[in-house]
Amino acid sequence: MSAPLLEVEDLSVEYVTDTRTVRAVDRVSFTVGEGEVFGLAGESGCGKSTIANAILRLLRDPAVIAGGSIRFRGTDVLAFDHERLREFRWRQVAMVFQSAMNSLNPVMTIGDQIADIYTTHDRISKKEALRRSGDLLDLVGIPHDRLRSYPHQLSGGMRQRVVIAMATALRPPLLIMDEPTTALDVVVQQEIMAQIKDLQRELGFAVLFITHDMSLMVELSDRMAVMYAGRFVETARAQAVFEEPSHPYTRALMNAFPPMSGPRTRLRGLGEGVRFRDIPDLVSVGPGHWAAPIADDVPSSEASR
Amino acid sequence: MSAQTPVMSIRGLEKTFPIGGMLSRGRVRALGGVDLDIAPGEIVALVGESGSGKSTLARCLARLEQPSGGSLLFEGRDILRQEPRRASRSYRSAVQMIFQDPFGSLNPVHRVGHFLERPLRLHDAVSGRAELENAKRRLMEKVDLPAELLDRYPHELSGGQRQRIAIARALAVNPRLILADEPTSMLDVSVRIGVLNLMRTLCEQQGISMLYITHDLASARYLADRIVVMFAGEFVEGGEAMTLLAHPQHPYTRLLISAVPDPRRRGAFDPRERAQLRREVLKPVSCPFEGRSDTPCSRDAAVFHTVSESPEHWVRCGLYAPPSDAPGTALELPDTIEGATPA
């Protein structure tokens, strides 16, 4: 296997204020291979989005990268100067944000917004940029005449397609998708996920996929990690995590979603019962499967939740 | 279930909205005449995609919208006839609504206690200071929240805690029916199940009925006794929750089920199969129940065929196509995708 596309090693991110420091991401390591879909799962506030923002160097005060390294195709992302960063963002790594539907500019037509990417990054004429924008809409199954539409004239699903198309505009080898379908209803969500899979097959980009929905993640991802309170608690092939979850938090997260099959039983949410502290480093529990060991003094009832 | 008098009987409920400008004659039909009974203590889930008319139905029941036609029988009283202009206070306390967004439904300038105090006072549920304090504490207990939170402001609470306050507020006036419009979709995963469990417990212990509106079929399966599937302002299928999901009849129901992510499914759902289902929904061609003497098929009127009596399960005739002024749906959109994936 060649060198991975993205290597994150011992990454720590802290939010520093005058009175206290909060460690949002704590010594996290993972790799994403070329063309691979890597999933990051966890509840709100566990640090998933902070990792995404750290990779694109989008963190602002008071967030600081407190340690570790991020390498993209072998080069140190954290050492990039302003110029390199401009080149890196969107051309190498593009991001589909949470509530991406609202990330379109309401006073610009769809066509102008997409063309902007090409005129800015590729320095081509407006006319050529608009032609390419049309091709891009083709890719996500939106008719050309929508180029002249404003965002509010499109449905939520269509806007999301546009945003995803825009992320792939410069054919970046890595796409970060932060909850790309959270605001959509199930039918539209399914269409969007199918679209992402099709595009990925066609264009071959890798995806860092962030969501709290374990079912969705297992369906889409090759490998995945479960995150809790800034730490990874488990990482493996997605199917392995689903079939043989090792860490109690992973099991709890899976049980936080009612299943579509099997008997109907009362579930326990991720209530106060499932709380962990001082999560140790991951150890191997199977081929390609790592999980944080559970200290012996954890009551057994906790493990069964 | 049918032996009991329903809490709410909906008959032929219609709602049309004007579209376009003031002078426009345009109309969009959000509700095309729906019938539904909700029994005491029963949880009915109303599922369907965005724009299918689920929320309009709930808003008509809560009397936040004036229905364009049909009738509502609440505990046997013809509400739209007896209270045609606006609902009486007793109806408003008996039918309570819980909204999707707990961040928007609690006024940020008031303490939590205020939200519980107002309904208690307005509906004369208590008299005297001490009784009021007691009532507030009891409500907090019912929704599993510590009484200390009464002195907090909404921004100091988590999403789950806020939604529990919204539920407590609804409970303050002893409702008979709660209309819950996507109550968990904006909550974090860590608290969703807790809120669903709470709603179940309340219905079981206090005999409150609930209309649970959602597009999340898995949560409907978890919570509801009965599921009714809505498409373009009309019901297409309904029945006992587990039966309906195990043996979906209508192509739209099958389409909804196929959209739910399920890691147990081997590989992705076949896009061709989905495209086929979509075509069947939009252009009905055949009906598997053709030839039933009790419910003859019809292209012009919505006929409901019984799939099974017990457990209850019915489906709309496959030959019927809704009128063209039904609202546009997301189903229209992916036609363009079909071209991309060769059928």
pLDDT in tens, B169-215: 999 999 999 999 999 888 888 888 989 999 999 999 999 999 999 98
Instruction: Calculate what percentage of chain A has a pLDDT beyond 90.
Output: 57
Contact list, A271 vs chain B (CB under 8 Å): 190, 194
pLDDT at position B150: 95
In a domain, A181, yes or no: no
Residue A187: predicted pLDDT = 81
Helix pair A126-139, A110-121: axis angle to 10 deg? 120
| Overall average pLDDT of the A42-70 stretch | 91
User: How high is the pLDDT of residue A273?
Assistant: 58
Say yes or no to pLDDT of B342 above 50.
no
- pTM (2 d.p.): 0.86
Strands across the sheet containing B43-47? B95-98, B177-181, B209-214, B43-47, B226-231, B234-240, B313-316, B304-308
Question: Is A117 within a domain?
Answer: yes
Give the gap in angstroms from C-alpha B335 to the nearest C-alpha of chain A.
9
The whole domain housing A113 covers 102-171
Q: Tokens representing A135?
A: 């091709």
- pLDDT for B169 equals 93
pLDDT at A101: 66
Say whether pLDDT at B80 is over 50.
yes
- Residue B75 forms contact with A (CB below 8 Å): no
Chain mean pLDDT for chain B: 86
Q: What is the pLDDT of residues B305-329, one digit of tens each?
A: 999 988 899 999 988 877 655 554 4
Question: Does the pLDDT value for residue A47 go beyond 80?
Answer: yes
Pull the structure tokens for residue B141: 């207990």
Inside any domain, residue A57: no
Q: Is the separation of the CB atoms in B195 and B98 below 8 Å?
A: no
Please say if the pLDDT value at position B341 is more than 70. no
Using a CB–CB cutoff of 8 Å, tell me whether A214 touches chain B: yes
Mutation target among A49, A185, A212 for the B interface, most CBs of B within 10 A: A185
- Tell me, what's the pLDDT at A2? 65
A300 pLDDT higher than 80: no
Instruction: Answer yes or no: is pLDDT of B138 > 50.
Output: yes
Please give the residue that has the higher pLDDT: either A156 or B172: B172
Q: Torsion over CA of A100, A149, A185 and B243, rounded to 10 degrees?
A: -160
Is A135 within the bounds of a domain? yes
B81-137 per-position pLDDT tens digit: 999 888 898 999 999 999 988 888 899 999 999 999 999 988 877 888 899 999 999
Evaluate whether residue A14 is within a structural domain: no
Judged by average pLDDT, the poorest of A155-159, A194-198, B221-225, B266-270 is B266-270
Is beta strand B27-38 parallel, antiparallel or unpaired with respect to B8-18? Answer: antiparallel
Tokens for A130?
Answer: 């608009």
In this complex, the residue of B261, B269, B331 whose CB is nearest that of residue A213 is: B261
- Would you say residue A291 lies in a domain? no
Residues 6+ apart with CB under 8 A from A84: none
The stretch B46-60 carries a mean pLDDT of: 91
> Residue B261 and residue A190: Cβ atoms within 8 Å?
yes
Rounded Cα gap, residues A278 and A281, in angstroms: 9
User: How many residues would you count in chain B?
Assistant: 343
Whether residues B256 and A266 touch (CB distance < 8 A) is answered with no
Q: Which residue has the higher pLDDT, B45 or B300?
A: B45
Burial annotation A118-150 (CB, 10 A radius, 16+ → b, else e): beeeeeeeeeebbbbbbebbebbbbeeebbebe
Report pLDDT for B268: 56
Query: Beta strands of A171-303 (E only): which ranges?
Result: 174-178, 206-211, 223-228, 231-237, 283-286, 289-291
Of residues B3 and A145, more confidence is placed in A145
Is position A165 within any domain? Answer: yes
What's the mean per-residue pLDDT of chain A? 88
**Residues on chain B touching A157 (C-beta within 8 angstroms):** 330, 333
On whether the CB atoms of residues A83 and A245 are closer than 8 A, the answer is no
Q: Report the range out of B23-27, B243-247, B325-329, B338-342 with the highest average pLDDT.
A: B243-247
| Residue range A274-283, pLDDT digits in tens | 678 788 999 9
- Express each pLDDT in A191-221 by its tens digit: 888 889 889 989 999 999 999 888 889 888 9
Better-predicted residue by pLDDT, B274 or B43? B43
pLDDT at position B259 over 90: no
φ, ψ of residue B265 to 5 degrees: the values are -70, 135
Q: Do B331 and A193 touch (CB under 8 A)?
A: no
**pLDDT score for A82:** 92
Name the residue with tokens 């449905």.
A155
CA–CA separation, B213 vs B220, rounded Å?
8
Q: Does B244 touch chain A (CB under 8 A)?
A: no
Nearest CB among B190, B255, B268 relative to A43 is that of B190
Say whether B49 and A269 touch across the interface (CB within 8 A).
no
Looking at A108-117, A118-127, B330-339, which range is the least confident one?
B330-339
Number of domains chain A is built from: 1
Say how far apart CA A247 and CA A292 lie, in whole Å.
7
In this prediction, residue B3 carries a pLDDT of: 58
Assess if residue A90 is contained within a domain.
no
- pLDDT, tens digit (0-9, with 9 covering 90-100), for B224-233: 999 999 998 9
